[in-house]
Amino acid sequence: MRALVFGAGSLGSLLGGLLARAHDVTLVGRDPHVERVRAEGLRIAGEVSARVAPAATTTVPAERFDLALVAVKAFDTPAAAEALGGADLDAVLSVQNGLGNEAVLAEALDAPVLAGTCTYGARLTEPGAVECTGRGEVALGPPDGGESPVADRVGPAMRAAGVETTVAADMPRRCWEKLAVNAGINAVTALARVENGALVDGPAGEPARRAAREAARVARERGIDLSDDAAVEAVERVAAATSANRSSMLQDVDAGGRTEVDAINGAVVDRAEAAVPANETLTALVRGWERERGLREDEEG
Ligand SMILES: NC(=O)C1=CN([C@@H]2O[C@H](COP(=O)(O)OP(=O)(O)OC[C@H]3O[C@@H](n4cnc5c(N)ncnc54)[C@H](O)[C@@H]3O)[C@@H](O)[C@H]2O)C=CC1
Ligand SMILES: CC(C)(CO)C(=O)C(=O)O
């Protein structure tokens, strides 16, 4: 397989690096990481160790690829879609968090777009080096559910490189369950400045559970079978399993950078048929912080 990984940050470098053990991989990212990968290859450490030498570039080559794996933050998806238009792609797979990424990619690109959820943990430690902070799995399939020959081709190719992969016919439910987890954990931990474990038995757990229940209700409004209990159980299970984690949104806030709140809590608000007060409040607070930091100037900030 010829694979292009757009967004060679933490997750893109990890998945791209793992894929490079079996496939011809090109990472698209930014210097100094790209420069270092070109000069010295990519080191993977942590729960998986490997040294690989994928191609690396800062612009999308005008070439044919069997797969483009998209791993930018959700707010960069429109730019990723535009840049990927320069390549000839057989398939596109988003492994991003949040809702709406596949629709943005599908609108701009001719290739079939697969939805993905990813529970691997990754952290870029220095240019040229990525740490696998948790071995997980990628689930992928058509965004509207069901089966597709494209998913049946991509899944085994990922498995051939040792990436734990499930080809799933129920991606809408999986994406909404992951969204409920992120809607519950990310903004609450970012605003309270606490690790995920603080939600298990502390006072910050209640707003997280409320946000997850609201996400489950909105999922059901859209015909997706996700109960309140399943969403709350998923938040509690993930918070306990990742208790020492600083969520990605807390890390974004720590780093003074823009967050994915629009694609997470904001996505719940946008799709709700009735009020979702926990998600409305979390979205407004995080957007308010982003606006004060000059990270957004749109009407929603
Ligand atoms: N890091 C993790 O453990 C996990 C991340 N995710 C999701 O995966 C997505 C990516 O997350 P991370 O890898 O943590 O983010 P990241 O910020 O480390 O990586 C994104 C990379 O894309 C690059 N990029 C953005 N626009 C670009 C452009 N136009 N040209 C070239 N490079 C560009 C950035 O420079 C950055 O290095 C997010 O949606 C996140 O929620 C999901 C599961 C786990
Ligand atoms: C699962 C969780 C909440 C782990 O921290 C995550 O996906 C994130 O931080 O974005």
Dist CA 193 CA 162 (whole Å):
35
Distance 88 CA to ligand 1 centre (A): 22
* Burial readout 127-164 (b: 16 or more C-beta within 10 A, e: otherwise): bbbbbbbeebebbbbbbebeebebbeebbebbeebebe
Mean pLDDT of 188-201: 97
pTM (predicted TM-score)? 0.97
Atom of ligand 1 nearest to the CA of 95: 8
Domains of the chain: 2-167 (3.40.50.720), 171-292 (1.10.1040.10)
Pocket of ligand 2 (CB under 6 A): 97, 181-182, 185-186, 196, 238, 242, 245, 247-248
- Does the active-site annotation cover 73? no
Q: What angle do CA 48, 56, 149 make, to 5 degrees?
A: 70
Predicted ipTM?
0.98
214-252 per-position pLDDT tens digit: 999 999 999 999 999 999 999 999 999 999 999 999 999
Output DSSP code: residue 31: T
State the pLDDT at residue 300: 72
Strand partners, 132: 46, 122
Cis peptide before 54 (omega within 30 of 0): no
Asked if 4 and 26 count as a contact pair (C-beta separation under 8 A), the reply is yes
State the pLDDT at residue 139: 98
Q: Pocket of ligand 1, candidates 18, 33, 72, 242: which has the most ligand atoms within 8 Å of its Cβ, to mutate?
A: 72
Distance 248 CA to ligand 2 centre (A): 6
Distance 132 CA to ligand 1 centre (A): 14
Output DSSP code: residue 57: E
* Strand ranges, E, within the chain: 2-6, 24-28, 42-46, 50-52, 55-57, 64-65, 67-70, 88-89, 92-94, 113-118, 121-126, 129-134, 138-141, 165-167
User: If we measure between CA atoms, which residue out of 61, 19, 23, 55 comes closest to residue 39?
Assistant: 55
At which residue do the structure tokens 């912080």 appear? 289
Q: What tokens were used for 124?
A: 């870029």
Dist CA 215 CA 272 (whole Å):
8
Dist CA 171 CA 144 (whole Å):
7
Distance 10 CA to ligand 1 centre (A): 6
Pocket of ligand 1 (CB under 6 A): 7, 9-12, 28-30, 71-74, 76, 79, 83, 95-97, 118, 121-122, 124, 248, 260
Q: Pocket of ligand 1, candidates 73, 140, 250: which has the most ligand atoms within 8 Å of its Cβ, to mutate?
A: 73
242-298 per-position pLDDT tens digit: 999 999 999 999 999 999 999 999 999 999 999 999 999 999 999 999 999 999 977
H or E segment to which residue 187 belongs: helix 171-192
Q: Pocket of ligand 2, candidates 137, 238, 260: which has the most ligand atoms within 8 Å of its Cβ, to mutate?
A: 238
Single-letter residue type at 206: E
Asked if 31 and 94 count as a contact pair (C-beta separation under 8 A), the reply is no
Q: What tokens were used for 171?
A: 């991606």
Distance 211 CA to ligand 1 centre (A): 24
H or E segment to which residue 81 belongs: helix 77-84
Distance 184 CA to ligand 2 centre (A): 10
Sign of the Cα torsion 222, 287, 80, 246 reads negative
Residue of the CA atom closest to atom 5 of ligand 1: 11
Asked if 143 and 113 count as a contact pair (C-beta separation under 8 A), the reply is yes
User: Would you place residue 301 in the very low, low, confident or very high pLDDT band (cuts 50, 70, 90)?
Assistant: low
13-27 per-position pLDDT tens digit: 999 999 999 999 999
Catalytic residue among 23, 33, 174, 178: 178
Q: How far apart are the first and last CA of the chain?
A: 42
User: If we measure between CA atoms, which residue out of 171, 207, 187 comes closest to residue 264?
Assistant: 187
